Amino acid sequence: MEAFPGGCACGRTRYRMTDRPLFVHCCHCLRCQRETGSAFVLNALIEADRLEMTGEPPRPTAVPTDSGKPHRIFRCETCETALCGEYGGVEKLRFVRVGTLDSPHALKPDVHIYTRSKVPWLALPAGVAAFEAYYDSKKLWPAESLQRRAAIFG
């Protein structure tokens, strides 16, 4: 089993992903652009029970969504670095911000999503799946990730 450690900018909140992520999204939606102050965000999807938090516990913050579904971002209480998110009220799944890993280059995107709002000066790499909106995970995720997903959702 592989471990991926990470943490916030001030070092008070630390975490460790105890397994490889299910899948890694590069999201180009306008909401992610606004929340991160960047052109996109990289999120590593992983089961909540495979994400171990240590140090100062992160504070969940509710943020607005276009869909109206619940969305919480977990931030360091001190420096407010966004460490991970929970989308649609699915408490068993976390979207870890890849940029907060100790080795952020260890994970590359498996898919680019919401490319309809991608900044025009960014060229997407050849050979990586890209979608104007979302996609069907049952068609794109590897078999092992689909098995892990089934264990979450039954």
Q: How many CB atoms lie within 10 A of CB 81?
A: 20
pTM: 0.94
Which CATH code fits 4-153?
3.90.1590.10
Task: Strand 41-47: give its sheet, edge to edge.
Answer: 59-62, 71-75, 82-87, 93-97, 41-47, 23-27, 111-113, 129-130
Q: Note down pLDDT in tens along the chain; length 154 residues.
A: 578 999 999 999 999 999 999 999 999 999 899 989 999 999 999 999 999 999 999 999 998 877 777 889 999 999 999 999 999 889 999 999 999 999 999 999 999 999 999 999 999 999 999 999 999 999 999 999 999 999 998 7
